[in-house]
Amino acid sequence: MHTAGDVRVEQRPDPVIVEPTDAIIRVTATCICGSDLWPYRGVEPADHQVMGHEYVGVVEEVGDRVQTIEVGDFVVGSFVISDNTCEICRSGYQSKCVHAEFVAQTIGTQAERARIPHADGTLVATPGQPAPELIPSLLAASDVLGTGWFGAVAAEAGPGKTVAVVGDGAVGLMGVLAAKQLGAERIIAMSRHPERQKLARYYGATDIVEQRGADGVAKIKELTNGLGAHSVIEAVGTQEATQQAIGATRPGGHLGMVGVNYDVTLRGIQLFFSGIHLHGGPAPVRRFLPELIQLVWDGAIDPGRVFDLTLPLEDAARGYEAMDERRATKVLLTV
C-alpha cells in the first residue's frame, strides 16, 4: 500500500531464511481483512506498507532449528508470530507472546512467498494436502474464524447459554459458528443485511435482531426475560457497537471483545456498574488452530462461506475497493 487508497502489486525480492527458526512458505491463498481497511482509509498511516496477515500455503524451506514443520507441508498460520513456548504462550495467549510480531506490519502475506519466523510456534500443518474446496475454510482459520472463536470462548459461550453477537461482518459470522459449535442454546445475531442474516442463520443463529444502539439492547433484553444475554461477542469495534454489547450483557455475564476498537471511549463508572466480565484483545489464534483445522478437515464446519469474492492476487486493488465500498464481506486472493 503506497499510501491510503493506493494498493499495487509489485515485484519484491524473494524472502530468505534469516533465523534458524524461520520457514519460507509459498502462499496458496490469502485474503483482505477488515483491518486492512484502516490504512486504506487513512485511519492508520501507510507508506509503502506490505499488506496481508492471513495465509495458507506450502512450506518450501525451513531453518536448521525448525522441528515440527517440514518442507512440503501444507500449513495454516496465525496472524501473529509466536514461539508457543514462553509462559504467555503456554497460558494460551500466543498473540501476546514475548516474541510476538504482527504478520501484517513486517511480513505481509498478500504475496507469493513469505518468511515466517518461529515457524514451529506459528504454523500448524494440516493432516495432508487439502482438497481445493477446503482451502477457503482453512484460510478462514488463520484469522476470522480464530478471532470469532476467541470471541465466543472469551464470552464463555456454551451449553445452556444465550449468546448475542454484535456485528455481522466475517468475524461476527464466525462468532455465530463458534457459539454453535461450543453448544450455545440460543444465538442472537444482530444484523440488518438480508444476505448476512441468511449466512448467520446458516451458521447457527436462532434469532435475528435488526435494531441497533439502545433499541438493540432493549430487543435483546426483551428476548432474555429482561436480563440480557449470558454471553455477548463484540465484533465491530465502534463506539455504538461497544455500548450495545455492554448493554446487552446480563450482570455477571461475559463480553468477548474482538472488534478492533480504535476510537471507543468508555466511562469507567459505566463499566463498574455493568457488573460484567470483560475479556478480549487480538485473538490467540494459534491456541485454537489444531482444533479448528481438524473441524474443517472433518467437514464439521464450513467457515469458508464468508468469502464472497475471489480474485487473483494481481487484482488485489479491486478487492480493496470492493471491501471498502461494502460490495464484499471478505475477499479471498488466489496466488
Interacting residues toward Zn ion by CB under 5 A: 82-83, 86, 89, 97
Residue closer to Zn ion (CB basis): 35 or 82: 82
* 176 phi and psi angles, rounded to 5 deg: -65, -50
Q: How far apart are the first and last CA of the chain?
A: 18
Residue 270 identity (one-letter amino acid) = Q
Residue closer to Zn ion (CB basis): 79 or 203: 79
CB of 89 to Zn ion, least distance (A): 3
Residue closer to Zn ion (CB basis): 23 or 332: 23
Residue closer to Zn ion (CB basis): 83 or 234: 83
Beta bridge partners of 190: 166, 209
CB of 155 to Zn ion, least distance (A): 24
State the Cα–Cα distance between residues 235 and 155, nearest whole angstrom: 12
Residue closer to Zn ion (CB basis): 85 or 310: 85
Contacts of 11 (CB under 8 A, 6+ apart): none
Pairing of strands 74-77, 123-125: antiparallel
CB of 117 to Zn ion, least distance (A): 12
Residue closer to Zn ion (CB basis): 41 or 90: 90
122 alpha-carbon distance from chain centroid: 15
CB of 120 to Zn ion, least distance (A): 11
As given in the structure block, the three cell numbers for residue 65 are: 532449528
CB of 95 to Zn ion, least distance (A): 10
Other CB atoms within 10 A of residue 279 CB: 16
State the Cα–Cα distance between residues 303 and 139, nearest whole angstrom: 9
Residue closer to Zn ion (CB basis): 46 or 119: 119
State the Cα–Cα distance between residues 108 and 71, nearest whole angstrom: 21
Residue 225 identity (one-letter amino acid) = N
275 alpha-carbon distance from chain centroid: 27
* 59 phi and psi angles, rounded to 5 deg: -70, 125
Tell me how many degrees the CA angle 49-168-271 measures, rounded to the nearest 5: 90
CB of 93 to Zn ion, least distance (A): 8
CB of 235 to Zn ion, least distance (A): 25
